[in-house]
A and B are shown apart, each in its own frame.
Chain A
Amino acid sequence: MVSLKACGQSYVFVLVNSHDKWEGRVQHVEQEELVVKAITGDEDSFTLLMNEMQGRLYRMALSYVRNKDDALEIVQETVYKAFISIHKLQKPQYFSTWLIKISVNCALDYIRKSKKIIYMDIDIEDSYVPEDSGDVIDLYEALRVLDEKTRLAIVMRYFEDMPMKEIANILDMPLSSVKSIIYRGLEKLKINLEESEYNG
């Protein structure tokens, strides 16, 4: 991983070898151009942006709902909502935050509607059998102990490497609350981080 800090710019270019999660960030500048075009109604630019982001959206969705069909549905709904409202996006640089916020809201809606919400800290759904195996099961199993907002916050912070401020914005919560739910979440996961690592 190579990090470059652009002079006078607040964003960081992170170059990674091939992982699609990071590809969007490699093309950060290009992404902003695409966003500008997409805002003005350019469908091709929007499609490219979605192709870039779909992996992230899917992984995040899957970590909320643990079921690939539901996750795909959440992605579809997120893309749909983004498509019909991208013209309202005023600051292209916040595209990712904006899209993830849509995705989180879609996921929360979906969970509410389908009542598939699993309050992990209250009850455990024993009938559920994960489709994947190995480490993925570990991930699901681990996350099961967290309530939905904490899970979202931890996924965004540690798996998506998003800044606390952005997470607070997406979850519509004060920064201090986000920090405290993440702290409590990590405790529940029995993960010990150095203070600096936790603060991100």
Chain B
Amino acid sequence: MDDKLKRLQQAYNDIEILDELSLATRRGIEKGKLHQQKTRATKRRVKWITSIVAAMFIFFTISINTLPAFAGSLEQVPVLGKLVSVLHFSKGNAGGGVIQDGTDVNFITVKQQEGCDQIILNFAQNNEPQQIANSFNMKFTEYPNTMTIFVGGARRFSAAKDLETLKQSNYIQDAYQIITMDDSAIRFNITFKEPVTYEVKEYKDPAQVVIKLTSDKENAVNLPPVYSLRTVSMPYGEEIGMAEEMMFELEGLRVLKDQEGSFLVEAGYYNTEAEALAQLKRIQSEYGVDSLLIEKRSNLQIPEFISTDISTEKN
């Protein structure tokens, strides 16, 4: 081997090892330990945060599905992605969506599940699924248990054909369209066979409104009959629409289908016949409507078919 190289090797091997070297090594290890502690703490924090988020998500999901008030308070939080809101019903009334026009309520499906049924409304614009639901309103009334669904800005109701299939649901007695004089909206009623609880969720991307129905038989109390203030039975058509328009501002106004498939306009129902009579007179004087009659009806009973002839007899 070359002498010069040997000398250099010797010089290299003779490099003095300083006392500080052990200190430097120690410091390196300490620095590493510190780094690890920080990393572990961060990992622990991340774990904690992850579990808290997961717990919150579970809590949120449970709450939103069980407590309408809670859902109402959180509906603006876009945590569930496509869920827009869980409708909070006030006096049986709730609404959602945004004002749009030219919509087709193109199909309605019913999903039967264990212990509950879901009715899903779909919206389309130019044959393409709509991203956000139209402005809609839902009203739940009793005698008989009915949900009236109103969709604004809907020019077509391709789903009308699906109403028949809704009867497949264990809870649904009937589903039928109601004439709407305003051609920019559609309305339909769902009549229930039994007392039900309902929960309505609005989704976007694509727009859907999901009505979840569960039986409420257990909590049902035997409700006394009521005295309904109604028109005679009429075929589906303008006549119904006009009768409704005449009493437009009245509270509790609704269009119902009778036992024979004709329609009637109901101007509210009352606990006693006297109350109904008083209201009948008020409407006669204030609205000039004198074709109303009083029908006694039990809770789940479908309105009777009352022809003009009978009404004439009664009057």
Q: CB within 8 Å of B: which residues of A?
A: 19-21, 43, 46-47, 50-51, 54-55, 58-59, 62-63, 68, 72-73, 75-84, 132, 134-136, 138-139, 142, 155, 158-159, 189-193, 197
Contact = CB atoms under 8 A, between A and B. Distances in A.
Given A50-B28, A83-B35, 15 more contacts: A19-B13, A51-B22, A54-B25, A62-B15, A63-B12, A72-B24, A73-B24, A75-B24, A84-B32, A136-B11, A139-B11, A159-B8, A159-B9, A191-B2, A197-B1
A155 B2 contact: no
B12 to A, nearest CB: 4
B260 to A, nearest CB: 81
Contacts of A68: 18, 20
A121 B24 CA distance: 31
B11 A72 contact: no
Contacts, number: 111
B217 interface: no
Interface string B3-17: 011011111111111
A19 B12 CA distance: 12
Contact of B7 (A47, A75, A138, A155): A138
Given A58-B17, A139-B12, A50 B7 contact: no
A76 B11 contact: no
B223 interface: no
B33 interface: yes
Main secondary structure on chain A at its contact with chain B?
helix
Interface in B20-50: 20-22, 24-25, 27-29, 31-33, 35-36, 39
A116 B1 CA distance: 33
B5 A193 contact: yes
Given A77-B28, A80-B35, A193-B2, A55 B17 contact: yes
Centre residue among B8, B10, B36 by max chain A CB count within 10 A: B8
B21 A135 contact: no
B2 A59 contact: no
Contacts of A73: 24
Contacts of B31: 76, 80, 83
A79 B32 contact: yes
B4 A191 contact: yes
28 contacts: A20-B17, A50-B28, A50-B29, A51-B25, A58-B15, A58-B24, A68-B18, A72-B20, A72-B21, A75-B28, A76-B25, A76-B28, A79-B32, A80-B28, A81-B32, A82-B32, A84-B35, A84-B36, A132-B15, A134-B11, A135-B7, A136-B14, A139-B11, A139-B12, A159-B12, A189-B5, A191-B4, A193-B2
Contacts of A19: 13
Contacts of A83: 28-29, 31-33, 35-36
Contacts of A134: 11
Contacts of A77: 28
Chain B interface residue bracket vs A: 20 to 34
B13 A21 contact: yes
Contacts of B13: 19, 21, 59, 159
Contacts of A142: 4, 8
B22 A135 contact: no
A70 to B, nearest CB: 11
B14 A75 contact: no
A138 B11 contact: yes
A159 B14 CA distance: 11
Contacts of B11: 134-136, 138-139
Given A19-B13, A84-B36, A138-B11, A192 B2 contact: yes
The 9 closest A-B pairs by CB, nearest first: A79-B28, A83-B32, A139-B11, A135-B11, A159-B12, A80-B28, A76-B24, A76-B28, A72-B24
Given A80-B35, A189-B4, A132 B27 contact: no
A190 B22 CA distance: 36
Interface in B179-195: none
A134 B18 CA distance: 17
B313 to A, nearest CB: 95
A9 to B, nearest CB: 27
A87 to B, nearest CB: 10
Contact of A190 (B4, B16, B32): B4
B92 to A, nearest CB: 63
Nearest to B28: A79
Nearest to B18: A68
A68 B19 CA distance: 12
A168 B18 CA distance: 30
B18 A47 contact: no
Contacts of A58: 15, 17-18, 21, 24
